[in-house]
Chains A and B, each alone.
Chain A
């Protein structure tokens, strides 16, 4: 199955919105995907063209009158909508795409974003001087942080490649690891990673994806 790796590449090079569209088109064409508590993080194009709703692994009719858009995140790559709807009242049909398949697709997507974040960090740190000569990239503490994040990325690749068809616990764990790596990487951007509309906000939107779709385990 190439949906995961494809959206990973789309995320890494194009950003969140194109990657979400790529993943939805590949896994859930025509669907508006909602997480277990009725949240969707998606694009306007997906929302406008969806003919039905996918509710945590179950296919339902759309109920446009019950859908709300509480927030829009303007991030590089295009705006992302956050939608909310109540749990469906009618019984739906099981979808061919279960919860864990969507979750592992999203984990691929978030991995692509996290690697793009790492590249942004390298650019930023390489251009930032400490004293007269060294750059931030040469500081041991900085090198250590980048290396830790890369180790997580490598583990995520290994797990996701082996994951096809497995239950969701492993994918949820990858989501947690990626969130941790993103947090550390965003710190490396200094206050520039805290500015709206920049790469720090992509990391925040990526966390919102996990928040919407994962049945979370508490952080350690």
Chain B
């Protein structure tokens, strides 16, 4: 497994930085019209994202500077996400690819489901979505109400409503969570083609992150074919809350990296827009640079931690909590240093301000991250993992 200090990760970072230039060029156009992404499917970064996370056994991974990258580890993903979000988060979140749905399939899919899903992903650019949040249940996703009613033939029927689902309007395949029974264990997920009768999605216009095309989804008795209910080979306790918690743990360092990327984007925007700074301003800039470095270290160690043990989410929560605040701080500082009317005169910066705010809600709000961190303290998991990390650090290196 790659470690954050690995030289090949620097190559990945360098390549993403170079490819990110295409994203920056299209950022404002996509913000005005999210359909812009359909004209960008041949950009190298979009092509990379379209297959990111598909494991090597299903394809030949992308070669960058002679190194193979498939984006299947959290460590690789945070590098990709930070660099592309630094260029433009809108393009990043609008790109086709397996992302959350892909990780869920990896976590709960059986071999046939994985093959079906990855084939679809590799066949042509495939937008996917991960439909968990409901109009009345966001942070408290475990109380969801959509029904996933099993049928004797192995299929199921979905009925209910989802809200704020990224990319649902353009997705061809959706991973949808629903209730299979009344208890906490009575939650499952299924893969459905969005062309199935009864699947309706419409865009919810948002202040920022407009590339994500947040959608309201109505599920009017959507038929799930036999073999498309996920996790049937797993114990019931691993199909619902466990599955989405693990999926979020694996991707949350990436979400933190996106927020970090926005913060870096704002910092670099500032540096590029002016040469001379007063001492006071320079002090703010220096402090921001150190904050960026510190949060990046946290994001990378969160990624390493979930790659080693996907059940341990507290570092990922800490990374998301810190990175989201930093994104808001960096974009606000940029506005303050550029003077009155900065948001009105710098559309790209204005976009960064609006995008940064939306990161609060992606994969759990700050309060939910705080609660996760606190539970890890209370349960002793945090201190256990710190002592393991300490003893690993003390052990002689084998490299």
User: In the complex, what residues of A have CB within 8 A of residue B208's CB?
Assistant: 194
CB neighbours of B209 from chain A (8 A): 194
Tell me the A residues contacting B by CB distance below 8 Å: 35-39, 70-71, 82, 84, 128-131, 139, 141-142, 183, 186-187, 190-191, 194-197, 200-201, 204, 207-208, 211-219
**CB–CB B340/A215 < 8 A:** yes
Binds A, one of B67-75, B131-139, B237-245, B390-398: B131-139
Partner pick for B339 among A187, A190, A194, A216, CB 8 A cutoff: A216
A38 lies within 8 A of B207 (CB): no
Contacts of A207 in B (CB 8 A): 343
Which chain B residues lie closer than 8 Å to A204 at the CB level?
A: 207, 354
Closest to A70 in B: B344
On whether the beta carbons of A36 and B207 are closer than 8 Å, the reply is no
Complex: chain A residue closest to B329, CB-CB: A219
Q: Does B383 contact A (CB under 8 A)?
A: no
Q: In the assembled complex, which residues on chain B have CB atoms less than 8 Å from the CB atom of A216?
A: 335-336, 339-340
- Residue of chain A at shortest CB distance from B137: A129
Assess whether B140 is in contact with A196, with CB atoms less than 8 Å apart. no
In Å, the complex CA distance between A160 and B139 comes to 37
Neighbour of B341 across the interface among A37, A142, A217, CB < 8 A: A37
Contact B365 A35 (CB under 8 A): no
Contact A211 B361 (CB under 8 A): no
- Point out the residues of chain A lying under 8 angstroms from B133, CB to CB: 191
B323-345 vs A: 1/0 string, CB under 8 Å?
00000110011011101111111
Q: Which 7 A-B pairs have the closest CB atoms?
A: A196-B205, A37-B341, A39-B341, A218-B336, A37-B340, A191-B164, A216-B336
Q: Which of A187, A190, A201 contacts B207 (CB 8 A)?
A: A201
A105 and B335 alpha carbons, distance in the complex (Å): 22
Q: Does B232 contact A (CB under 8 A)?
A: no
Within 8 A of A (CB), among B258-287: 280-281, 284
- The CA-CA distance from A6 to B163 in the complex, in Å, is 39
Question: What are 17 pairs between A and B in contact, CB < 8 Å?
Answer: A37-B340, A38-B341, A70-B344, A129-B140, A183-B357, A187-B365, A190-B361, A191-B214, A194-B206, A194-B358, A196-B207, A207-B343, A211-B340, A211-B343, A212-B344, A216-B340, A219-B332
Nearest neighbor of A189 in chain B, beta-carbon distance: B361
User: In the complex the two chains form, what is the Cα distance from A219 to B138 in whole Å?
Assistant: 31
Residues in B neighbouring A219, C-beta threshold 8 A = 329, 332-333, 336
Q: How many A-B residue pairs have CB under 8 A?
A: 100
Q: Can you list, as one digit per residue, whether each of B180-211 has a CB less than 8 Å from chain A (1) or not (0)? A: 00000000000000000000000011111100
The answer to whether A35 and B143 have CB atoms under 8 Å apart is no
* A207 CA to B367 CA, complexed, in Å: 24
* Residues on the A chain within 8 Å of B280, using CB: 218
A39 / chain B contacts, CB cutoff of 8 Å: 340-341, 344-345
Q: Given A130-B140, A186-B357, check contact A195 B340 (CB 8 Å).
A: no
| Contacts known (A186-B357, A204-B207, A218-B336); A131 close to B143, Cβ less than 8 A | yes
Interface contact A218-B333, CB-CB below 8 Å: yes
| Whole-angstrom CA separation of A129 from B336 in the bound complex | 38
Greatest chain B CB density within 10 A among A38, A190, A211 is at: A211
CB distance from B36 to the nearest CB of A (A): 18
User: Is B366 interfacial (CB 8 A cutoff)?
Assistant: yes
B218 at the interface (CB under 8 A from A): no
| Cα distance, A131 to B354, chains bound together (Å) | 31
Contact between chains at B206 and A196 (CB < 8 Å): yes
Residue of A nearest to B281 (CB): A218
A211 and B344 within 8 A (CB): yes
Query: Are A215 and B354 also in contact (CB < 8 A) when A39-B344, A197-B205 are?
Result: no
Chain A residues near B138: list those with CB within 8 A: 190-191
Once the chains bind, are A142 and B361 in contact (CB under 8 Å)?
no
- Min CB distance A141 to B, Å, is 5
> Which B residues from 293 to 334 make CB contacts under 8 A with A?
328-329, 332-333
Chain A neighbourhood of B371, CB < 8 A: 141
* Chain B min CB distance to A108 (Å): 20
Bound: A204/B328 CA distance, A: 13
Are A214 and B367 within 8 A (Cβ)?
A: no
Instruction: Please give me the residue from chain B that is nearest to A184 by CB atom.
Output: B366
- In the complex, residue of chain B having the shortest beta-carbon distance to the beta carbon of A176: B336
Chain B nearest CB from A56 CB (Å) reads 9
B370 interfacial by beta-carbon distance below 8 Å:
yes
Closest to B138 in A: A190
B340 CB, nearest partner CB in chain A, Å? 4
Q: A129-B140, A194-B208, A219-B329 are in contact. Are A84 and B214 (CB under 8 A)?
A: no
Q: Which residues of B from 139 to 194 have beta carbons under 8 Å from A?
A: 139-140, 143, 163-164
Specify the chain A residue showing the minimal Cβ separation from B288.
Answer: A218
- Interchain CB contact under 8 A, B361 and A194: yes
B360 within 8 Å of A by Cβ? yes
Q: Is the CB of B140 within 8 A of A131?
A: yes
How far is B370's CA from A18's CA once the two chains are assembled, in angstroms?
A: 39
